[in-house]
Amino acid sequence: MAKFSRSHLFIITAFFLVGSFLLVKFSLADATSTVRGKAWWGDSLGYVYFSCYDDEIGDRLDVPGNLYTPPELAFHFYSVPCSYLVHGVFINQDGLFSGQAWNQSEGLISFEYEGVDPPGGYGSFNAPCSTCNPSTNCIACYVESEQKVYGWARTAAGDWIRLDPPSNPVKIQSWDLSNPVFPGEDVDPGDFVGTASSSLLGGLSFNCKSEAGGNACSTRDYKVYIGGLSIGKLSAPNWTYTQACNSTARGAVLRWYRKSGQQSAYEIIINDSPTFSTSSADYVCWTDVVPSSGASQYTIPNANCSLNYNTNYYWWIRLFDEDGEPTELYQFGQAGIVSESTDGNPDGNSNTFTTYKHEFPNPFFSWVPEEIVVGTTTTFTSASSYYTTASPSSSQACVDAACSYLWTTDDLLAVITSPTASKTDIVFAVATGTTIYLRVTDADNYYCSTSTTIRINYGLPLWREVKPE
Protein backbone atom coordinates (compact mmCIF):
# COMPACT_ATOMS: atom_id res chain seq x y z
CA MET A 1 0.00 0.00 0.00
CA ALA A 2 1.36 3.43 -0.91
CA LYS A 3 2.14 5.74 1.98
CA PHE A 4 2.07 9.49 2.12
CA SER A 5 5.54 10.85 2.83
CA ARG A 6 6.77 14.25 3.91
CA SER A 7 9.48 14.13 1.27
CA HIS A 8 7.30 13.80 -1.80
CA LEU A 9 5.13 16.02 -3.93
CA PHE A 10 1.61 14.71 -4.34
CA ILE A 11 -0.68 15.63 -7.15
CA ILE A 12 -3.72 13.45 -6.60
CA THR A 13 -6.61 13.74 -8.97
CA ALA A 14 -9.90 11.94 -8.53
CA PHE A 15 -13.28 12.15 -10.19
CA PHE A 16 -15.55 9.59 -8.58
CA LEU A 17 -19.29 9.51 -8.19
CA VAL A 18 -20.33 8.23 -4.74
CA GLY A 19 -24.06 8.46 -4.13
CA SER A 20 -24.99 11.95 -5.21
CA PHE A 21 -21.56 13.48 -4.54
CA LEU A 22 -19.05 14.29 -7.23
CA LEU A 23 -15.56 14.04 -5.78
CA VAL A 24 -13.49 16.84 -7.19
CA LYS A 25 -9.81 17.25 -7.87
CA PHE A 26 -7.47 18.06 -5.02
CA SER A 27 -3.73 18.56 -4.89
CA LEU A 28 -1.08 18.74 -2.20
CA ALA A 29 2.43 20.10 -2.51
CA ASP A 30 5.21 19.71 0.06
CA ALA A 31 3.04 17.84 2.56
CA THR A 32 4.57 17.55 5.99
CA SER A 33 1.82 15.85 7.99
CA THR A 34 -1.12 13.65 7.10
CA VAL A 35 -4.19 13.96 9.34
CA ARG A 36 -5.72 10.61 10.25
CA GLY A 37 -8.64 9.26 12.23
CA LYS A 38 -12.25 10.31 12.60
CA ALA A 39 -14.35 12.92 14.39
CA TRP A 40 -17.88 12.50 15.75
CA TRP A 41 -20.70 14.68 14.40
CA GLY A 42 -23.56 13.27 16.42
CA ASP A 43 -26.01 10.41 15.92
CA SER A 44 -27.56 11.93 12.78
CA LEU A 45 -24.37 12.63 10.84
CA GLY A 46 -21.99 10.04 12.28
CA TYR A 47 -18.26 10.19 11.73
CA VAL A 48 -16.11 12.52 9.65
CA TYR A 49 -13.07 10.71 8.20
CA PHE A 50 -9.88 12.68 7.62
CA SER A 51 -8.12 10.16 5.39
CA CYS A 52 -9.51 7.66 2.92
CA TYR A 53 -7.35 5.06 4.66
CA ASP A 54 -9.67 5.37 7.66
CA ASP A 55 -13.00 5.38 5.80
CA GLU A 56 -15.61 2.84 6.84
CA ILE A 57 -17.64 2.03 3.75
CA GLY A 58 -19.81 -1.02 3.36
CA ASP A 59 -19.83 -4.56 4.66
CA ARG A 60 -20.80 -3.16 8.05
CA LEU A 61 -24.56 -3.64 8.08
CA ASP A 62 -24.53 -3.72 11.86
CA VAL A 63 -23.28 -0.11 11.91
CA PRO A 64 -26.08 2.49 11.99
CA GLY A 65 -24.18 4.63 9.51
CA ASN A 66 -24.92 2.13 6.77
CA LEU A 67 -28.64 2.73 7.20
CA TYR A 68 -28.53 6.50 6.76
CA THR A 69 -30.72 8.29 4.28
CA PRO A 70 -30.77 9.25 1.47
CA PRO A 71 -31.28 5.66 0.26
CA GLU A 72 -28.38 5.70 -2.18
CA LEU A 73 -26.01 5.84 0.80
CA ALA A 74 -27.39 2.73 2.49
CA PHE A 75 -25.98 -0.80 2.44
CA HIS A 76 -22.52 -0.06 1.06
CA PHE A 77 -20.39 -3.05 0.27
CA TYR A 78 -16.71 -3.33 1.10
CA SER A 79 -14.15 -1.48 -1.00
CA VAL A 80 -10.39 -1.20 -0.66
CA PRO A 81 -9.55 2.08 1.12
CA CYS A 82 -8.61 4.91 -1.24
CA SER A 83 -9.52 2.90 -4.34
CA TYR A 84 -12.85 4.56 -5.18
CA LEU A 85 -12.98 7.47 -2.76
CA VAL A 86 -9.70 9.37 -2.60
CA HIS A 87 -9.39 12.17 -0.05
CA GLY A 88 -7.16 13.37 2.76
CA VAL A 89 -6.40 16.33 5.03
CA PHE A 90 -2.86 17.60 5.43
CA ILE A 91 -0.90 20.23 7.37
CA ASN A 92 2.22 21.68 5.76
CA GLN A 93 5.36 23.02 7.42
CA ASP A 94 3.79 26.46 7.83
CA GLY A 95 0.78 25.01 9.65
CA LEU A 96 -1.63 25.48 6.72
CA PHE A 97 -4.37 22.90 6.20
CA SER A 98 -5.30 21.50 2.80
CA GLY A 99 -7.35 18.66 1.36
CA GLN A 100 -10.75 17.20 2.21
CA ALA A 101 -12.37 15.09 4.90
CA TRP A 102 -15.49 13.01 4.19
CA ASN A 103 -18.82 12.26 5.82
CA GLN A 104 -21.39 9.76 4.55
CA SER A 105 -24.20 12.32 4.75
CA GLU A 106 -22.45 15.58 3.84
CA GLY A 107 -19.86 14.30 1.41
CA LEU A 108 -16.49 16.03 1.10
CA ILE A 109 -15.57 18.65 3.69
CA SER A 110 -12.95 21.05 2.36
CA PHE A 111 -10.10 22.63 4.30
CA GLU A 112 -9.12 24.80 1.31
CA TYR A 113 -10.12 28.25 0.07
CA GLU A 114 -11.25 27.29 -3.47
CA GLY A 115 -12.45 30.84 -4.16
CA VAL A 116 -14.88 31.08 -1.24
CA ASP A 117 -14.17 33.49 1.63
CA PRO A 118 -14.86 32.20 5.16
CA PRO A 119 -17.55 33.90 7.28
CA GLY A 120 -16.41 37.33 8.41
CA GLY A 121 -13.38 37.23 6.12
CA TYR A 122 -9.85 36.46 7.27
CA GLY A 123 -9.34 39.25 9.77
CA SER A 124 -11.38 37.46 12.42
CA PHE A 125 -9.09 34.43 12.77
CA ASN A 126 -5.77 34.45 10.94
CA ALA A 127 -3.72 37.03 12.86
CA PRO A 128 -1.71 34.23 14.53
CA CYS A 129 -1.00 32.64 11.12
CA SER A 130 -1.02 35.45 8.60
CA THR A 131 0.13 33.24 5.72
CA CYS A 132 -3.33 31.66 5.71
CA ASN A 133 -5.10 33.66 2.97
CA PRO A 134 -6.54 33.24 -0.55
CA SER A 135 -3.08 33.34 -2.13
CA THR A 136 -2.14 30.17 -0.24
CA ASN A 137 -5.58 28.57 -0.82
CA CYS A 138 -5.99 28.45 2.96
CA ILE A 139 -8.98 28.72 5.29
CA ALA A 140 -7.54 26.83 8.32
CA CYS A 141 -4.18 26.86 10.05
CA TYR A 142 -2.34 25.49 13.08
CA VAL A 143 -0.08 27.50 15.42
CA GLU A 144 2.20 25.06 17.22
CA SER A 145 3.35 27.56 19.87
CA GLU A 146 -0.29 27.87 20.94
CA GLN A 147 -1.20 24.25 20.09
CA LYS A 148 -4.34 25.69 18.55
CA VAL A 149 -6.19 25.37 15.24
CA TYR A 150 -7.73 28.48 13.66
CA GLY A 151 -10.19 29.00 10.84
CA TRP A 152 -12.84 27.01 9.04
CA ALA A 153 -13.84 23.98 6.99
CA ARG A 154 -16.70 23.86 4.46
CA THR A 155 -19.11 21.13 3.44
CA ALA A 156 -19.97 20.35 -0.18
CA ALA A 157 -23.32 22.10 0.34
CA GLY A 158 -21.58 25.28 1.52
CA ASP A 159 -22.16 24.97 5.27
CA TRP A 160 -19.30 26.22 7.45
CA ILE A 161 -17.57 24.48 10.36
CA ARG A 162 -15.70 26.77 12.73
CA LEU A 163 -12.55 25.19 14.16
CA ASP A 164 -11.84 27.85 16.80
CA PRO A 165 -15.19 28.52 18.49
CA PRO A 166 -15.09 30.46 21.78
CA SER A 167 -15.87 27.30 23.75
CA ASN A 168 -13.58 24.23 23.60
CA PRO A 169 -11.73 25.12 20.34
CA VAL A 170 -9.82 22.50 18.37
CA LYS A 171 -6.23 21.98 19.56
CA ILE A 172 -3.36 19.61 18.76
CA GLN A 173 -1.03 18.27 21.46
CA SER A 174 2.54 19.27 20.63
CA TRP A 175 5.73 17.51 21.72
CA ASP A 176 5.55 19.48 24.99
CA LEU A 177 3.57 17.18 27.26
CA SER A 178 4.19 19.55 30.17
CA ASN A 179 1.69 21.84 28.45
CA PRO A 180 -1.33 19.53 27.96
CA VAL A 181 -4.10 20.56 25.59
CA PHE A 182 -6.61 18.67 27.71
CA PRO A 183 -5.42 18.49 31.35
CA GLY A 184 -6.40 15.36 33.21
CA GLU A 185 -6.45 13.13 30.13
CA ASP A 186 -3.62 11.16 28.55
CA VAL A 187 -3.34 12.82 25.14
CA ASP A 188 -0.48 11.71 22.86
CA PRO A 189 1.64 14.11 20.80
CA GLY A 190 -0.18 14.80 17.55
CA ASP A 191 -3.65 14.12 18.95
CA PHE A 192 -6.47 16.59 18.30
CA VAL A 193 -8.93 17.56 21.04
CA GLY A 194 -11.84 19.97 21.19
CA THR A 195 -15.10 20.52 19.35
CA ALA A 196 -15.68 22.53 16.17
CA SER A 197 -19.03 24.30 15.84
CA SER A 198 -21.35 24.16 12.84
CA SER A 199 -24.73 25.42 11.68
CA LEU A 200 -25.90 21.88 10.93
CA LEU A 201 -26.48 19.45 13.77
CA GLY A 202 -24.22 20.60 16.57
CA GLY A 203 -20.54 20.30 17.29
CA LEU A 204 -17.93 18.13 15.59
CA SER A 205 -15.90 16.42 18.33
CA PHE A 206 -12.28 15.64 17.45
CA ASN A 207 -11.53 13.33 20.38
CA CYS A 208 -13.78 11.25 22.62
CA LYS A 209 -11.58 12.26 25.57
CA SER A 210 -12.71 15.87 25.20
CA GLU A 211 -16.39 15.02 24.78
CA ALA A 212 -18.81 14.63 27.71
CA GLY A 213 -16.09 15.40 30.23
CA GLY A 214 -13.88 12.69 28.82
CA ASN A 215 -16.45 9.96 29.39
CA ALA A 216 -17.50 9.43 25.75
CA CYS A 217 -14.71 6.95 24.99
CA SER A 218 -16.58 4.20 26.84
CA THR A 219 -19.26 4.17 24.12
CA ARG A 220 -17.40 5.62 21.09
CA ASP A 221 -13.64 5.37 20.78
CA TYR A 222 -12.40 7.88 18.22
CA LYS A 223 -9.91 10.68 17.68
CA VAL A 224 -8.29 12.75 14.95
CA TYR A 225 -4.50 12.71 15.00
CA ILE A 226 -1.38 13.50 13.01
CA GLY A 227 -0.36 10.34 11.19
CA GLY A 228 3.28 9.43 10.76
CA LEU A 229 6.10 9.45 13.29
CA SER A 230 7.97 12.73 13.68
CA ILE A 231 10.14 14.64 16.17
CA GLY A 232 9.35 18.11 17.47
CA LYS A 233 12.31 18.82 19.74
CA LEU A 234 15.89 17.69 20.38
CA SER A 235 17.88 18.57 23.48
CA ALA A 236 21.53 18.16 24.54
CA PRO A 237 23.75 17.70 26.46
CA ASN A 238 21.49 17.78 29.56
CA TRP A 239 24.44 16.86 31.79
CA THR A 240 24.10 18.66 35.11
CA TYR A 241 26.76 19.67 37.60
CA THR A 242 25.34 17.06 39.97
CA GLN A 243 25.83 14.33 37.34
CA ALA A 244 29.35 15.57 36.62
CA CYS A 245 30.18 15.59 40.33
CA ASN A 246 28.73 12.14 40.99
CA SER A 247 30.13 10.33 37.94
CA THR A 248 32.11 12.05 35.17
CA ALA A 249 32.23 15.35 33.34
CA ARG A 250 32.37 13.52 30.00
CA GLY A 251 28.67 12.75 29.98
CA ALA A 252 25.59 13.71 28.00
CA VAL A 253 21.92 12.83 27.80
CA LEU A 254 20.54 13.21 24.27
CA ARG A 255 16.77 13.71 24.42
CA TRP A 256 14.08 13.69 21.78
CA TYR A 257 10.39 14.60 21.96
CA ARG A 258 7.88 12.99 19.62
CA LYS A 259 5.64 15.37 17.72
CA SER A 260 3.37 12.61 16.43
CA GLY A 261 3.16 8.90 15.74
CA GLN A 262 4.27 5.74 17.54
CA GLN A 263 7.90 4.74 18.05
CA SER A 264 9.23 1.19 17.97
CA ALA A 265 12.98 1.87 17.76
CA TYR A 266 15.62 4.58 17.42
CA GLU A 267 19.04 5.07 15.85
CA ILE A 268 21.63 7.72 16.79
CA ILE A 269 24.91 8.84 15.23
CA ILE A 270 27.37 11.09 17.13
CA ASN A 271 30.41 12.70 15.53
CA ASP A 272 32.97 15.40 16.30
CA SER A 273 32.70 16.69 12.72
CA PRO A 274 29.63 17.67 10.68
CA THR A 275 29.99 14.49 8.59
CA PHE A 276 27.19 11.96 8.90
CA SER A 277 28.49 8.44 8.41
CA THR A 278 27.97 4.93 9.73
CA SER A 279 31.47 3.94 8.73
CA SER A 280 33.44 3.01 11.85
CA ALA A 281 36.27 5.30 10.79
CA ASP A 282 34.04 8.33 10.52
CA TYR A 283 31.84 8.42 13.61
CA VAL A 284 32.36 8.68 17.36
CA CYS A 285 29.31 6.65 18.39
CA TRP A 286 26.62 4.75 16.51
CA THR A 287 23.81 2.96 18.32
CA ASP A 288 22.59 1.00 15.29
CA VAL A 289 18.84 0.36 15.48
CA VAL A 290 17.76 0.00 19.13
CA PRO A 291 14.29 -1.54 19.62
CA SER A 292 12.45 0.61 22.16
CA SER A 293 8.92 1.93 22.12
CA GLY A 294 9.24 4.07 25.24
CA ALA A 295 12.78 5.49 25.06
CA SER A 296 13.11 9.24 24.77
CA GLN A 297 16.76 9.71 25.68
CA TYR A 298 20.21 8.21 25.22
CA THR A 299 22.70 8.46 28.09
CA ILE A 300 26.47 8.63 27.64
CA PRO A 301 28.85 7.15 28.78
CA ASN A 302 27.74 3.58 28.28
CA ALA A 303 29.31 0.32 27.14
CA ASN A 304 29.27 1.41 23.49
CA CYS A 305 29.88 5.14 23.65
CA SER A 306 32.25 7.52 25.44
CA LEU A 307 33.09 11.19 24.92
CA ASN A 308 36.17 13.39 25.34
CA TYR A 309 36.59 16.53 27.41
CA ASN A 310 36.00 19.98 25.89
CA THR A 311 34.77 18.63 22.54
CA ASN A 312 31.98 19.80 20.25
CA TYR A 313 29.73 17.00 19.06
CA TYR A 314 27.15 16.76 16.27
CA TRP A 315 24.37 14.21 16.46
CA TRP A 316 21.63 12.78 14.28
CA ILE A 317 18.65 10.60 15.09
CA ARG A 318 15.90 8.75 13.29
CA LEU A 319 12.98 6.88 14.78
CA PHE A 320 11.15 3.83 13.48
CA ASP A 321 7.37 3.55 13.54
CA GLU A 322 5.20 0.58 14.49
CA ASP A 323 5.73 -0.91 11.02
CA GLY A 324 9.50 -0.56 11.23
CA GLU A 325 9.58 2.32 8.74
CA PRO A 326 12.20 5.02 9.52
CA THR A 327 11.53 8.70 9.83
CA GLU A 328 13.68 11.27 8.13
CA LEU A 329 17.11 11.78 9.64
CA TYR A 330 16.92 14.64 12.15
CA GLN A 331 20.03 16.63 12.97
CA PHE A 332 20.36 18.53 16.23
CA GLY A 333 20.00 22.24 15.42
CA GLN A 334 18.29 21.79 12.06
CA ALA A 335 15.56 24.20 10.96
CA GLY A 336 11.99 23.13 11.54
CA ILE A 337 12.37 21.55 14.98
CA VAL A 338 13.18 22.99 18.38
CA SER A 339 16.76 22.32 19.46
CA GLU A 340 17.72 23.14 23.04
CA SER A 341 21.38 23.57 23.97
CA THR A 342 21.57 23.19 27.73
CA ASP A 343 25.31 23.97 27.74
CA GLY A 344 24.85 27.64 26.75
CA ASN A 345 26.25 26.92 23.28
CA PRO A 346 29.87 27.85 24.11
CA ASP A 347 31.17 27.32 20.56
CA GLY A 348 28.39 29.39 18.95
CA ASN A 349 27.37 26.47 16.70
CA SER A 350 23.68 25.59 17.01
CA ASN A 351 24.34 22.10 15.57
CA THR A 352 26.63 20.97 18.40
CA PHE A 353 26.74 20.32 22.11
CA THR A 354 29.96 20.69 24.09
CA THR A 355 31.34 18.54 26.90
CA TYR A 356 32.88 20.05 30.03
CA LYS A 357 36.54 21.05 29.94
CA HIS A 358 37.64 18.74 32.73
CA GLU A 359 36.43 16.89 35.80
CA PHE A 360 34.76 18.80 38.60
CA PRO A 361 36.30 19.56 42.02
CA ASN A 362 36.40 16.89 44.72
CA PRO A 363 35.31 18.59 47.96
CA PHE A 364 36.48 17.11 51.27
CA PHE A 365 36.94 18.46 54.79
CA SER A 366 37.91 17.49 58.32
CA TRP A 367 37.43 19.14 61.72
CA VAL A 368 38.94 19.40 65.19
CA PRO A 369 38.10 18.65 67.88
CA GLU A 370 36.32 15.49 66.81
CA GLU A 371 33.70 15.88 69.56
CA ILE A 372 31.79 19.10 68.96
CA VAL A 373 30.23 20.92 71.88
CA VAL A 374 27.63 23.68 71.81
CA GLY A 375 29.12 27.12 72.34
CA THR A 376 32.72 26.09 71.69
CA THR A 377 34.89 26.66 68.64
CA THR A 378 35.37 23.90 66.07
CA THR A 379 37.83 24.34 63.21
CA PHE A 380 36.91 22.97 59.78
CA THR A 381 39.60 22.56 57.11
CA SER A 382 39.16 21.82 53.40
CA ALA A 383 41.29 19.08 51.86
CA SER A 384 39.69 19.37 48.42
CA SER A 385 41.16 18.86 44.95
CA TYR A 386 40.48 20.28 41.49
CA TYR A 387 41.23 19.73 37.78
CA THR A 388 42.39 21.88 34.86
CA THR A 389 42.06 21.84 31.09
CA ALA A 390 45.72 20.86 30.85
CA SER A 391 45.12 17.90 33.21
CA PRO A 392 41.39 17.18 32.85
CA SER A 393 41.41 13.86 34.71
CA SER A 394 44.38 14.30 37.12
CA SER A 395 43.49 16.01 40.37
CA GLN A 396 45.56 18.64 42.14
CA ALA A 397 45.31 19.83 45.72
CA CYS A 398 43.27 22.98 46.05
CA VAL A 399 44.95 26.21 47.00
CA ASP A 400 43.12 29.46 47.64
CA ALA A 401 44.22 30.87 44.29
CA ALA A 402 42.72 27.93 42.36
CA CYS A 403 39.59 27.14 44.40
CA SER A 404 36.95 29.13 46.19
CA TYR A 405 34.85 27.89 49.07
CA LEU A 406 31.51 28.31 50.72
CA TRP A 407 30.76 26.89 54.17
CA THR A 408 27.17 26.66 55.41
CA THR A 409 25.22 24.74 58.04
CA ASP A 410 21.59 24.04 58.81
CA ASP A 411 22.14 25.45 62.32
CA LEU A 412 20.85 28.91 61.47
CA LEU A 413 22.17 30.34 64.77
CA ALA A 414 25.71 29.06 64.26
CA VAL A 415 28.53 31.59 63.83
CA ILE A 416 30.83 30.91 60.84
CA THR A 417 33.88 33.13 61.09
CA SER A 418 35.31 32.68 57.55
CA PRO A 419 32.60 31.19 55.30
CA THR A 420 34.60 31.65 52.05
CA ALA A 421 38.05 30.53 53.21
CA SER A 422 39.62 27.09 53.01
CA LYS A 423 39.60 26.96 56.83
CA THR A 424 36.94 28.33 59.13
CA ASP A 425 35.85 28.26 62.77
CA ILE A 426 32.22 27.50 63.57
CA VAL A 427 30.48 27.93 66.92
CA PHE A 428 27.24 25.90 67.03
CA ALA A 429 24.22 27.08 68.99
CA VAL A 430 21.97 24.03 68.98
CA ALA A 431 22.66 20.55 70.36
CA THR A 432 21.27 18.20 67.73
CA GLY A 433 22.26 16.39 64.57
CA THR A 434 23.61 19.25 62.41
CA THR A 435 24.72 19.14 58.76
CA ILE A 436 27.79 21.08 57.58
CA TYR A 437 28.14 21.82 53.86
CA LEU A 438 31.19 22.77 51.78
CA ARG A 439 30.93 23.88 48.15
CA VAL A 440 34.18 24.10 46.18
CA THR A 441 34.37 26.07 42.92
CA ASP A 442 37.28 25.99 40.48
CA ALA A 443 38.58 28.64 38.08
CA ASP A 444 36.07 27.61 35.39
CA ASN A 445 33.18 28.04 37.84
CA TYR A 446 32.55 24.29 38.01
CA TYR A 447 31.48 23.41 41.52
CA CYS A 448 30.62 20.40 43.65
CA SER A 449 29.38 20.13 47.20
CA THR A 450 29.79 17.70 50.06
CA SER A 451 28.16 17.50 53.47
CA THR A 452 28.46 15.70 56.77
CA THR A 453 25.93 15.42 59.57
CA ILE A 454 27.48 15.63 63.02
CA ARG A 455 25.99 15.25 66.48
CA ILE A 456 26.47 18.49 68.42
CA ASN A 457 26.58 17.86 72.18
CA TYR A 458 25.99 19.87 75.32
CA GLY A 459 29.04 20.47 77.45
CA LEU A 460 29.36 18.46 80.66
CA PRO A 461 28.13 20.36 83.77
CA LEU A 462 30.76 21.69 86.21
CA TRP A 463 30.57 19.91 89.56
CA ARG A 464 31.78 21.54 92.81
CA GLU A 465 32.08 19.58 96.04
CA VAL A 466 30.34 21.29 98.95
CA LYS A 467 30.85 20.17 102.58
CA PRO A 468 27.70 19.41 104.51
CA GLU A 469 26.91 21.92 107.26
The structural domains of the chain, ordered by start, are 17-227 (no CATH), 230-354 (2.60.40.10), 365-457 (2.60.40.10)
Lowest mean pLDDT among 199-213, 239-253, 432-446: 199-213
Q: Is pLDDT larger for residue 3 or for residue 362?
A: 362
The residue that leads in pLDDT, 308 or 199, is 308
| Average pLDDT of the residues in 200-212 | 86
- Looking at residue 454, its pLDDT comes to 95
Characterise 288 by phi-psi region: left (phi > 0), alpha (psi -120 to 50), beta (else): left
Q: What's the pLDDT score for residue 4?
A: 30
pLDDT at 342: 97
Q: What is the DSSP letter of 257?
A: E
* Phi, psi angle pair for 212, to nearest 5°: 55, 45
| Alpha-carbon span 440 to 359, nearest angstrom | 13
Predicted local confidence at residue 21, as pLDDT: 33
* pLDDT tier at 214, thresholds 50, 70, 90: low
Residue 299 banded pLDDT, cuts 50, 70, 90: very high
Q: What is the mean pLDDT of the chain?
A: 87
Contacts of 355 (CB under 8 A, 6+ apart): 237, 239, 249, 250, 251, 252, 307, 308, 309, 310, 311, 313
- Closest listed residue to residue 253, CA positions, set 342, 359, 358: 342
Task: Look at the pTM and tell me if it is higher than 0.85.
Answer: no
Q: What is the DSSP letter of 277?
A: -
Please check the confidence at residue 155 and state whether its pLDDT lies above 70. Answer: yes
Per-residue confidence (pLDDT) for residue 58, from 0 to 100: 53
pLDDT greater than 60 at residue 72: no
Residue 467 has pLDDT above 80, yes or no: no
Q: Three-state SS for 140?
A: strand
Share of the chain above pLDDT 90, in %: 73
CA distance 82 to 235: 39
Residue 219: pLDDT band (50, 70, 90) is: confident
pLDDT higher than threshold 80 for residue 302: yes
- Tell whether the model's pLDDT for residue 318 goes beyond 60: yes
Using one digit for the tens of pLDDT, what is the confidence trace for 110-150?
999 999 999 988 888 878 888 999 999 999 999 999 999 99
- Residue 300, classified by CB atoms within 10 Å of its CB into exposed (0-12), middle (13-18) or buried (19+), is buried
Longest CA pairwise span in the chain (Å): 125
Averaged pLDDT for residues 227-236:
95
Query: Comparing 468 with 336, which gets the higher pLDDT?
Result: 336
**The pLDDT of residue 213:** 65
pLDDT tens-digit readout, 269-292: 999 999 888 777 789 999 999 999
User: Does residue 4 or residue 432 have the better pLDDT?
Assistant: 432
Q: Which pLDDT tens digit goes with each residue over 359-411?
A: 999 999 999 999 999 999 999 999 999 999 999 999 999 987 899 999 999 99
pLDDT tens readout for residues 328-342: 999 999 988 899 999
